[in-house]
Amino acid sequence: MRKALRDDERTEPRIDHEQDMWRIRSFEAARQVLRARRQTTQAGFTAEKIPRGYFRHHPILISDGDDHDAQRREVARFFAPSVVSAKYGDFINDRAQAIIDDAVAEGTCRLDDLALDYSVEVTATVVGLTESSVAGMSKRLVGFFKQPPVDLSAPSMGRTPRQWMQAAINGLVPIARFYSADVRPAIRARRARRRDDVLSHLLDAGYGTADILVECMTYGTAGMVTTREFISMACWHLLSDDELGRTYRQAPQPARLAMLEEIIRLDPVVGHLYRRAQTDIDITDDGRVHTISQGDLIDVCVQQTNADPQVMGASPDALCPRRERKQGTPAAGLSFSDGAHSCPGQALALFETDALLHPLLARRPRILREPSISWDNLIEGYRLRGLDLSLMDRSRPAATREPI
C-alpha cells in the first residue's frame, strides 16, 4: 500500500471544476491535458512568477513551444537509457558500491543523507558540475527549498508581500552560493576545455551565464533532490515487505526496474502537475466532454490519476509488481509527467536508484527508525527524513540519531 498520502487529498470526483480551477484525477483526461501541445503552458514550480526578460534561452522546465522542443531534443542524448547504461553505468555502480561499503564499515546509515550526496554526485557528473565538493553542493541545493508556503490556486499564490520577499531572499541566497561555488568553476573549466556533458553543450549552444545557472538549478532540484526522496521511498517499501524485498533482491535488473516503476506509480515524488490553459481545451472522461476555458488553472493530481482503476486494473492502490494495465499505459503512470514536459531523466533516476538499492538490500539491512513524512508544496511532493538503517550483525547494538 502507499506510504505517502496527505489527509487533505481527495480521490473523487474524477474531474473537479470550481471557478477557474480544474482538478484532474482521471488518467486519460490528465494525459489529454499534458499532451495538449501549444494549448497549455507550465504553471507549476511558481513558473508564472519567473521573469522572462533575463534569459536568452528560457529555462527548459518552464518553457513551452518550439524552443522547448528544441531544447529537449538537444539534451535527450545525455539521458537516453542506452547512454545512461553504457556511458555512466560503471561510474554509477562503482559510486553506489563505495557508498555502501562505507556504510557497512560504519554499521549504520541514515539513508536520506546518503541518498542526497549520491544522487547529487551522479547527476552533477552528467550535467558537468564536477569542480566542487559534492557535500557542499548538496547543502546549497537543499537550502533552496526553505521557502514560505505556496498555493498556486490562491490569489498571489497564497503568499503575502512579506512572504514573497522572504521567498526571494531564501531562494536567491542559495542560488548565489550555488553559482559561486559550483556553476562558475564548472563554466570556467569547460570554457578552457569542452567535455561530453550538458554544461559543455549549453556553452556550445550559446547559453549565457544566467541561462546556464537556471538550467543547472533545474537539474539540481529536479534531478538530484527528488531522486533522493525516491531512493528513500523505494527502500522503505522494499524493507517493509519481506516478500517484496526478497523478490527484488533475486530479480534480474529489468524486473527490478519494473518494480521501482510500480513503487513510484504508487508514491510519486511530485504529486501535482500544474498547467495554464492558453486556449479553450476539450477533454473527455467516461464519454463526457469537459471544456476548460482559456486562462483556467489545471491541477493534474498525479497520485489519483496513477490509481485510476480504468487504466491500472485491479487494486490500483496496492503495490503489484506484475500489474496488468490498460495497453499503452506507462508502468510509472504520470509520475514522470507526460507530453512535452515528461521528465528526460526518468531512465537515469531508475538506474541510479536500482544501482544503490540492489547491493544495499543484499546486505540485508534492517530499519532502526521509520522515516517521518512532511510535504514540500513548492514541488508538491513528500519529504522523507530519518530513515535509519543497520548494516551490522543483528547481535551487535546500534545507536540511533534524532531526525533532523
Sequence spans of domains, the chain: 15-390
Within 241-345, residue ranges assigned H as helices are 242-250, 253-266, 302-305, 309-312
- CA-to-CA distance for 313 and 296, rounded, in angstroms? 31
Cell numbers 570556467 correspond to what residue? 188
- Range 15-390: architecture per CATH: Orthogonal Bundle (1.10)
Residue 147's alpha-carbon distances to 22, 52, 172, 287, in angstroms, are: 25, 22, 11, 42
With a CB cutoff of 8 Å and minimum separation 6, the contacts of 74 are 201, 205
Q: Which residues pair with 108 in a beta bridge?
A: 390
- What global pTM score does this model have? 0.90
Cell numbers 482521471 correspond to what residue? 26
CB count, 10 Å around CB of 317?
A: 14
Closest Cα to residue 376, out of 262, 237, 221?
Answer: 221
Q: Tell me the pairing of strands 40-42 and 272-277.
A: antiparallel
pLDDT tens string, the chain, 404 residues long: the values are: 788 888 778 888 999 998 899 999 999 999 999 999 889 988 766 666 665 555 555 555 556 666 666 677 777 788 888 999 999 999 999 999 999 999 999 999 999 999 999 999 999 999 999 999 999 999 998 887 777 777 777 777 777 888 878 877 777 888 899 999 999 999 999 999 999 999 999 999 888 898 899 888 888 777 777 899 999 999 999 999 999 999 999 999 999 999 999 999 999 999 999 999 999 999 999 999 999 999 999 999 999 999 999 999 999 999 998 899 999 999 999 999 998 788 888 999 999 999 999 999 999 999 999 999 998 877 778 999 999 999 975 444 444 444 43
Q: Which residues pair with 390 in a beta bridge?
A: 108, 366
Whether 186 contacts 132, CB under 8 Å: yes
- CA-to-CA distance for 229 and 119, rounded, in angstroms? 10
Identity at 252, one-letter amino acid code: P
